[in-house]
């Protein structure tokens, strides 16, 4: 019996509930400005977050020279688009192909490239994911809905304080006419961790 991943659970976790209660108490006592907190959340969810990484991926899909720079010198290439900051200093980009699928984990804690992916999801920090992503990656991917053929090699990359990984997903077929902005809307946080594939909306399939 494998330990189920927490992304299947419903409702807030105990830690999330405690954080919300603490947040409410701080606001009621006037120790935290709700507007400042909203600004901080917006920064990490929207400006310093998955939308940044999606823009990096879309640029790599549409600009071969940028893709080459991204794979050769990821930190500098990501900074070209204005994304920099703590936990984004030592980046490595790994590219999915028809025969190789990459996924990222941090087995020791939860090292994560904040400037391009924002805050790490709860399941990424959970011990079940951190252990099983290494020992049974194909089963973990299946739980996320990613079924890969036996001919596809799965490579698991362990993020550390010295290096953080970003997966460059495969560009979906049938997107040749889409703009960079449109392509970036297809890219999810999970696809840049490697636990999801990039699909095309039904209207464009």
| DSSP output for 133-155 | HHH-HHHHHHHTT----TTSEEE
* pTM, rounded to two decimals: 0.79
pLDDT score, position 42: 66
| CA atoms 47, 49, 51, 55: torsion sign | positive
The pLDDT of 102-107, averaged and rounded, is 96
What's the number of CA atoms in the CB half-sphere (13 Å) around residue 73?
7
Question: What are the residue numbers of the active site?
Answer: 106, 109-111
The pLDDT of 22-28, averaged and rounded, is 78
The pLDDT of 110-117, averaged and rounded, is 88
162: which DSSP letter? S
Query: Residues with Cβ < 8 Å from 29, sequence gap 6 or more?
Result: none
Percent of the chain with pLDDT over 70: 83
Mean pLDDT estimate for the chain: 86
Check pLDDT > 50 for residue 205.
Answer: no
């Amino acid at each position: 019996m494998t330990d189920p991943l927490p992304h299947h659970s419903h409702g807030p976790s105990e830690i999330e509930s405690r954080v919300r209660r603490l947040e409410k108490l701080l606001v009621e006592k006037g120790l935290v400005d709700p507007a400042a907190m909203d600004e901080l959340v917006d920064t990490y969810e929207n400006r310093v977050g998955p939308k940044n990484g999606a823009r990096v991926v879309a640029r790599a899909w549409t600009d071969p020279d940028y893709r080459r720079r991204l794979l050769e010198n990821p930190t500098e290439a990501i900074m070209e688009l204005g994304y920099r900051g703590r936990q984004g200093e030592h980046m490595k980009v790994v590219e999915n192909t028809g025969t190789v699928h990459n996924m990222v984990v941090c087995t020791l804690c939860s090292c994560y490239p904040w400037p391009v992916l924002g805050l790490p999801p709860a399941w990424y920090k959970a011990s079940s994911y951190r252990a099983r992503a290494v020992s049974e990656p194909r089963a973990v991917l299946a739980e996320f809905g990613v079924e890969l053929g036996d001919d596809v090699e799965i490579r698991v990359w362990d993020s550390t304080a010295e290096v953080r990984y970003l997966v460059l997903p495969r560009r979906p077929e049938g997107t040749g006419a889409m703009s960079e902005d449109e392509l970036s809307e297809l890219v999810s946080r999970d696809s840049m961790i490697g636990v999801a594939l990039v699909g095309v909306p039904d209207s464009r399939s």
